[in-house]
Amino acid sequence: MHDAIIVGCGPAGNTLAWRLAGRGFKALMIEKANLPRPKTCAGGLSCKTLQALPFPVDEVIERRVTGAWLTFRGETFLHKRMPGAGATVDRARLDQFMTGRAVAAGAELREGVQFQSFEPNRDGVLVRTSAGEFAGRFLIGADGAASRVRRLLHPGERPRTAQAIETDLFPPAEALESLGDNALFDFGALPGGYGWIFPKRDRFSVGLLRVRRVGDARNLNVRLEEFIARYAILRGSRIARVCAWPIPVRPVARRLAAGRVLLVGDAAGFGEAFFGEGVFNAVRSADLAYDALRAALEEGRPAAESYNARAAAIRRELFFAQLMARLFYAAPKFGYDHLVRNRSVNELFSRLIAGGTSPMRCFLETLFLCPLWAFAPHAEPGVEYLSSAGVARSLP
């Protein structure tokens, strides 16, 4: 009898397994692939995510991000210095590293095992897999955006999603170093979303996030090709792969735990809509699940009720993140001119990335500052503004 059976070895599942095993509980991790397995993810971790992870992941960090280029369709640029803003990783290596830490703490791992179904019983949950049946006191669905655990727990329900597409580009060394430790965000890359360029050790992660289906509904692959062609530093690069995936940005239900089954991370629909970040809330939800499970296993408290109450805070913040995203990406040129290029609002969103404020407070404070950002001049101290010609010299 396992105390917890965790389906999925992403950041949420690994964090929960590491915490449970470290407390002396019997945690079983089930992963359908053999690690390391390919994972569709841009690999950008904000500083609040790095702080939220249960242990340092320096061994798998590919590049520290210390600043960002912000632009609208590559027409005008501003550069914001952001020391300690975050880092980039390869998700396959990150997940394997975190799984190794969980196993070292005492968790059991079954790779290449497909989760099939579960059945509640008097003692807990009977879990059926391609490798047979396992008994556990609790079942945790940490199996991502297409979670089978979620589909069985909430049949017929689907979370709201944003669409992302990403590719790895291997450019010449001089192009890679011209971007340095800066990320690039293009808020005019496509209608209803933004484009990014993230620097890694030997390549760029280049992609698009579409939050709203507005305007020209051309295939995202076409949009990505156009985005790559816009930037000289990307031309002539070797393209390794192109992957598209959904990011759940609204939970499928108010109750994300029922009986002895809990959902965490993308399986719960905890992706953030404005930036498309999922790892932060994945780790955060795993921490909340750990608190609920520990109280249930040690003190006999009902885990589902505790977890649902705690997770309500994440659901509330995701609502405001989605509201910000839908408003901003409805008029991205206006948002870029009056929000991104305004010092006060820019600092608000920097604090959001750093974990110094929540999506709800960021949204409300932005509204409160409306008389300032709507009429304030664009230029402000502390931020470099360069023309396209200037950036062309900086970004060959």
Taking only the tens place, the pLDDT of each residue in 115-159 is 999 999 988 999 999 999 999 999 999 999 999 999 999 998 888
Range of the domain at 103: 2-55+90-159+249-322
Query: Is there a single domain that holds both residue 337 and residue 371?
Result: yes
Query: Is there a single domain that holds both residue 284 and residue 356?
Result: no
Contact assessment for residue 86 and residue 49, using Cβ atoms and an 8 Å cutoff: yes
Contacts of 194 (CB under 8 A, 6+ apart): 185, 186, 187, 188, 208, 209, 329, 332
Query: Is there a single domain that holds both residue 236 and residue 172?
Result: yes
Query: Is there a single domain that holds both residue 172 and residue 264?
Result: no
What's residue 378's pLDDT?
58
- Top pLDDT among 37 and 373 is at 37
Q: How far is CA 209 from the centre of its chain?
A: 12
pTM of the model: 0.92
Q: What tens digit of pLDDT does each residue of 57-70 get?
A: 999 999 999 999 99
Query: Is there a single domain that holds both residue 241 and residue 279?
Result: no
- pLDDT (average), residues 288-308: 96
Whose tokens are 């156009």? That residue is 226
Query: Is there a single domain that holds both residue 101 and residue 14?
Result: yes
Domain count, the chain: 3
Query: Is there a single domain that holds both residue 373 and residue 259?
Result: no
Residue 111 has pLDDT above 80, yes or no: yes
Residue 380 has pLDDT above 60, yes or no: no
What's residue 34's pLDDT?
94
- Top pLDDT among 371 and 223 is at 223
Tell me phi and psi for residue 271, to 5 degrees. Answer: -75, 150
The Cα-based distances of 114 to 31, 33, 129, 149, 250 in angstroms read 7, 8, 5, 11, 26
Residue 385 has pLDDT above 80, yes or no: no
CATH of the domain at 192: 3.30.9.10
Residue 395 has pLDDT above 60, yes or no: no
Whose tokens are 């991790």? That residue is 29
The Cα-based distances of 281 to 52, 107, 148, 365, 372 in angstroms read 9, 22, 20, 22, 31
% of residues, the chain, pLDDT over 70: 92
Query: Among 57, 130, 45, 144, which residue's Cα sits nearest to residue 93?
Result: 57
Residue type, 251: P
Q: What tens digit of pLDDT does each residue of 218-277 get?
A: 689 999 999 999 998 898 888 888 998 999 999 988 899 999 999 999 999 999 999 999
Query: Is there a single domain that holds both residue 179 and residue 227?
Result: yes
Residue 52 has pLDDT above 70, yes or no: yes
Query: Among 16, 13, 57, 66, which residue's Cα sits nearest to residue 35?
Result: 13
Query: Is there a single domain that holds both residue 188 and residue 232?
Result: yes
Query: Is there a single domain that holds both residue 42 and residue 137?
Result: yes
Query: Is there a single domain that holds both residue 303 and residue 239?
Result: no
What's residue 72's pLDDT?
92
- pLDDT (average), residues 68-76: 88
Q: Distance between CA 220 and CA 224 in Å, rounded?
A: 6
Among residues 322, 343, 360, which one ends one of the domains?
A: 322
What's residue 249's pLDDT?
93
CATH of the domain at 130: 3.50.50.60
Among residues 322, 340, 355, which one ends one of the domains?
A: 322
Among residues 322, 342, 374, which one ends one of the domains?
A: 322
What's residue 169's pLDDT?
94
% of residues, the chain, pLDDT over 90: 70
Q: Distance between CA 216 and CA 212 in Å, rounded?
A: 11
Query: Is there a single domain that holds both residue 347 and residue 253?
Result: no
Tell me phi and psi for residue 67, to 5 degrees. Answer: -170, 175
Residue type, 178: S
Q: What tens digit of pLDDT does each residue of 283-296 get?
A: 999 999 999 999 99
